[in-house]
Amino acid sequence: MVVLDASVILKWFIPEKDRESALRFRDAHAQAREQVIVPLLLFYEIANVIRYRKQLPDQELISVFDILNSLEITALPPSFAEIGEAALYARQKNISVYDAVYVVLAGRLGCNFITADKRLAVSVAEPFVKILDEV
């Protein structure tokens, strides 16, 4: 089980640095070798990023969510208590609440959180937070 953030999952659809590393997580999930867990927030983040990608035609934008749906990724909504915990954690670590939701989720599940955002990983400095290009 692993928590991935939007910076990793977006690489499944947009050719960027470390894409092959990101695709390994997608393939492992698709082959039931690894379970990908995300907070429900991830889908909004992805929609917002690809909305601004003008080179991505409208139909491809929609197909991103068809693909994500077909992968049956487990998306968990945070409880009010978890949102409060994420807000406090965000304040303590000086990160966004959005980023803190991923960290809190991985901490609660006792699994690794993988991000391509090196600055986030350094700010958080938790042993279960891993940088994509280092895993």
| Predicted confidence (pLDDT) per residue in 42-72, tens digit | 999 999 999 998 878 888 888 999 999 999 9
Q: What is the signed CA dihedral for 20, 22, 25, 30, rounded to 10 degrees?
A: -80
Q: What's residue 56's pLDDT?
A: 81
Contact predicate 19/11, CB 8 Å: yes
| Domain span holding position 51 | 2-134
Structural domain total, the chain:
1
Q: How far is CA 94 from CA 24, 49, 67, 99, 104, in A?
A: 31, 23, 34, 10, 14
pLDDT tens by residue, 68-123: 999 999 999 999 999 999 999 999 999 999 999 999 999 999 999 999 999 999 99
d(Cα 113, Cα 106) in Å, to the nearest integer?
6
Binned at pLDDT 50, 70 and 90, residue 32 comes out as very high
Closest CA to 114 of 96, 128, 104, 98: 128
pTM of the model: 0.94
CATH number at residue 118: 3.40.50.1010
Within 8 A by CB and 6+ apart from 128, the residues are 106, 107, 110, 111, 112, 113
